[in-house]
Amino acid sequence: MTEPAVPSTAVPGTAGATGPETGPAAAPGTLAFEIVVEGAAGARTAQRAGADRVELVSALVDGGLTPSIGTVEAVLEAAPGIAVFPIVRPRGGDFVYDSGELDAMERDVRAFTRAGAHGVVLGVLTPDGEVDREAMKRLLSAAEGMGTTFHRAFDVCADPVGTLEALVGMGVDRVLTSGQQASAPEGADLIAELVRRAAGRIAVMPGGGVRDGNAAELVARTGARELHFSAMDTVPSPVRHRNPRVRMGGGTVPPEDVRTVNSAEKIVRVMRAARGAVAP
């Protein structure tokens, strides 16, 4: 199916205008936009809409898990004009990992580096909700030369301000957070405090429930200069034969006769709304 044309909304000097962006934060007075995608089609959609970066995941229904190396390579080839940050999260659930899981995570980081990914999305906590410094040091060493984002493990840490300072000390480029609430708009007060404390040393990127109807207020309230969202549509599956007696994954996941896809139109609407909050 031919994809509909979407007018370019790229800001000069950002990835949507000139190439992949991997630095720690958007330039003063501009905004950067990261879209969570599950594959090449989503990455192409995000690139076409003028976004700056994609967080590449599998199993978004589980909060996002590590994509395969084949998927990473396919996305890099399909969308060469946008920065690609695969998540490194081997399973759903908590963010406390055993030695075998950490070994797999380190291998994934190194594989993504060799594949040409622009950055990685990471997060490891201790059982007490602190940053696991040793585990993060190991993963960050494997990611040397790449951009780094600490994912929403931040939203279940025990001390968000202390964790922010720890991440600054480790040299992490950005933290993705909903402000330790169910959605970023609900957590806007904490996000604003984190942006203030970060003072440009690390990017604080709101994510979770970001839509065109709340993006401008979120940017205005928090002072954040990066936004993370998915802009999904639900569309029918192309399958004609169905077996209604079978559900893969049980009742907690969507049925097999629908799909969720990134919408270029929704991405553009969110970006336009957010830019309205910083327009001169």
Integer Cα distance of 33 and 257 in angstroms = 30
pLDDT in tens, 154-186: 999 999 999 999 999 999 999 999 999 999 999
Give me the pLDDT at residue 240, please.
86
Q: The whole model's pTM is what?
A: 0.89
Alpha carbon distance, N-terminus to C-terminus of the chain: 39
Which tops the pLDDT comparison, 249 or 25?
A: 249
Q: How confident is the model at residue 13 (pLDDT cuts 50, 70, 90)?
A: very low
pLDDT digits (tens, 9 = 90+) for 61-114: 899 999 999 999 999 999 999 999 999 999 999 999 999 999 999 999 999 999
Q: If you average pLDDT over every residue of the chain, what do you get?
A: 90
DSSP reduced 3-state for 100: helix
- pLDDT at position 18 is 41
Show the domains of the chain with their CATH numbers. 31-234+249-276 (3.20.20.380)
> Residue 257 to residues 41, 61, 66, 220: CA-CA distances in angstroms?
19, 15, 24, 39
Q: How far is CA 92 from CA 76, 96, 136, 144, 152, in A?
A: 25, 11, 18, 26, 12
Query: CA angle, corner 152, sides to 122 and 67, nearest 5?
Result: 50
